[in-house]
Amino acid sequence: MRDYSLADATRDAMKKFDIRASKKFGQNFLIDQNILEAILDISAIDKNSMILEIGPGLGTMTKQLCERAGKVLAVEIDKGLINALNINMSGYDNFKLINDDIMRLDLKSLLEENFGDTKSKVVANLPYYITSPIIMKLLEEHLNLFSITLMVQKEVAQRIAAFPGGKDYGVLSLMVQYYAVPEIAAIVPAEAFMPKPGVDSAVIHLKVREEAPVSLEDEALFFKVIKAAFGQRRKTLLNALYGSALGLGKSQIEDLLASCGIDSRRRGETLSMDEFAILTNKIWLFLKK
C-alpha cells in the first residue's frame, strides 16, 4: 500500500468540503511535502516566530507553521475556504484567521495588534496575477518584518533576484532589492501543485533590510528615476529620461549624466543601484536650485 501523500490529503479535503480551486483567486494548492519543508526551513521558524501567512488555502502549510511557530495570523480572501480552514485548524490555539483582502488591510496596525513590537515573518503562496502588488505593499509600508518567504512564478523570482546587465533586471529588481536581500531557495515544478499551473514556480526568500543600501536625498524621486530609465528598455538612458515625468531637457540630462560619470548611451538595465542613487541625488540638487 502506498503512503498517504499530501496530494491525497488535499484531494480528500477538497472533496470533503466541496471545494474547487478558484481561477478568480488564482488558487493552486501545494502538494509537495519536500517543497513545503523547504519553505519552512528557509524561513527559520521556531517557537519565538510570529507568522503572517497570506493565502492559507486549505491549511496544509498552516498546520505545520502552527506546530513550529509561536503565533500564526492567516489572511484568506476566499470565503469558500473559511469553513474548511476553521475546522482543519480547530486544534491550534496559536492560530487566528482573517477573511479579507490583504491589499485592503492596514497591515501595520494588524501586526501591532497581534504581535506587539515583535518582528514577524511573512510566508505565502501568492497567486500569480497579484504577486508584485502584494510584495511591494509588504515592503513599502515599512512593516516590522524580519523576512518574507514567498512562492511565486519562476519568472518573477528571477526578476526580483536579477543583477545589472541581464534581461531580467528591471524596476522590480531594484525596488525589491532596495528594501530586502533576495535569495531564490528552490525552483518548483508545476507538478507540485493541484491543479497544475501552466508554468513553474520558485520559492524566494527576502531578508528585510535594517537600513537602505544607498543614501538618498529623496526616495520617491529615486523610484521615479528608475521607472523612467526602464520606461522604454530599448532606448539609451538619455532618451529614456528625456520626455519622462522628470521634466528635464535633453542637454540637462546629458550634463547630469556626465557629472555622475555615466555614459548617456548606456541603457537603464546596465546601471547598478549605487549609480541610480548617485544620479538621483544629482537630479535632486539640480531641481532644488
213: in domain: no
The per-residue pLDDT for 3 is 52
* pTM for the full predicted model: 0.91
Mean pLDDT by 10 residues, the chain (289 residues): 66 82 79 90 95 93 95 96 94 96 97 97 90 96 97 96 95 98 95 88 97 97 96 89 91 97 96 98 93
On whether both 204 and 226 belong to a single domain, the answer is no
On whether both 236 and 129 belong to a single domain, the answer is no
- Which tens digits make up the pLDDT trace of 238-276? 999 998 889 999 999 999 999 999 999 999 999 999 999
The per-residue pLDDT for 221 is 97
Domain count within the chain:
2
The per-residue pLDDT for 174 is 98
On whether both 36 and 113 belong to a single domain, the answer is yes
Domain end point (choices 184, 208, 232): 208
- Tell me which residue range forms the domain holding 267: 219-288
Q: What is the 3-state secondary structure (H, E, C) of the chain?
A: CCCCCHHHHHHHHHHHCCCCCCCCCCCCEECCHHHHHHHHHHCCCCCCCEEEEECCCCCHHHHHHHHHCCEEEEEECCHHHHHHHHHHCCCCCCEEEEECCHHHCCHHHHHHHHHCCCCEEEEEECCHHHHHHHHHHHHHCCCCEEEEEEEEEHHHHHHHCCCCCCCCCCHHHHHHHHHEEEEEEEEECHHHEECCCCCCEEEEEEEECCCCCCCCCCHHHHHHHHHHHCCCCCCCHHHHHCCCCCCCCHHHHHHHHHHCCCCCCCCHHHCCHHHHHHHHHHHHHHHHC
